Amino acid sequence: MSQPILKLTNISKTYPDGAQTNTVLHDVSFEIKTGEFAAIVGPSGTGKSTLLTIMGALLHPTSGTITLAGQELTSLSAKAQTTIRLNQIGFIFQSAELIPYLTVQDQLTLIQRLAGHVDLPKAQAILTNLGLAHHLQHYPKILSGGEKQRVAIARALINEPPLILADEPTASLDAQRGREVVASIKAAVHQQNRAAVMVTHDERVLDLVDHVWQIADGTLTQIR
């Protein structure tokens, strides 16, 4: 049986709140394997984005361990975690967060350059596969919301990370465009044997994922 690409074990996250302690996550355990697409749902303020940020090694848990591709992350230096994020995790944010003065093509080659290599044909192929061939030399300002998010997906895939993390990727899109974006993530997961975790409020796209987890009061439970 294949090993999980991402495994969280007994993760807790607390913050001081005056004389008290605010517990955002309580003893959370989670795992996902390559070829799987999971959604995490729950009301606002229940810790979904905090959990995703911890999965992406952007925030340290108060306790517990995070293992990505067999490597425990919480004990790594900040520099080592930055390298992990660049090469092994692709991030898709609620807003596409594209750089306004870079063309669509350059959004991807910048990420390649940061990783120490540039493969222009590869960048063009990924964008073409996502239906963006006619936008390679265009700037973000002329793109629709759905097109911007597809560029963000391409950017997340360009360094071939085993794990994709998506934080409310449909929040600014209408139902059709949102579904197209999630379908694109699903295709990347299943066709390229990656793993993806998506935090979402959008119940209309949950039929596209393999597993659904619910978070409430800082506790995570698998419901499908």
pTM, full prediction: 0.90
Strand stretches in the chain, DSSP E: 6-17, 20-32, 37-41, 63-68, 71-72, 89-92, 163-167, 195-199, 211-216, 219-222
Amino acid at 199: V
* 24: Cβ contacts below 8 Å, ≥ 6 apart: 13, 14, 15, 47, 50, 218
Q: Please tell me the class of the 6-222 domain.
A: alpha beta
> What does the pLDDT read at residue 200?
93
Domain ranges of the chain: 6-222
Residue pair 213/220 in contact (Cβ under 8 Å)? The answer is: yes
Angstrom distances, CA of residue 25 to CA of 53, 58, 94, 167: 12, 15, 21, 17
> What does the pLDDT read at residue 1?
56
> What does the pLDDT read at residue 110?
93
User: Which of these, 73, 43, 33, lies nearest to 55 by C-alpha position?
Assistant: 73
DSSP string covering 103-139: -HHHHHHHHHHHTT---HHHHHHHHHHTT-GGGTT--
Rounded Cα distance, 85 and 111, in Å: 11
Handedness of CA 78, 82, 84, 90 (dihedral sign): positive
User: Which of these, 131, 132, 148, lies nearest to 140 by C-alpha position?
Assistant: 148
Amino acid at 91: F
**pLDDT averages per 10-residue partition of the chain, 224 residues:** 88 88 93 96 87 94 94 90 90 89 95 88 91 95 92 91 93 85 92 94 93 93 94
pLDDT digits (tens, 9 = 90+) for 133-168: 999 999 999 999 889 999 999 999 898 899 999 999
Rounded Cα distance, 215 and 222, in Å: 9
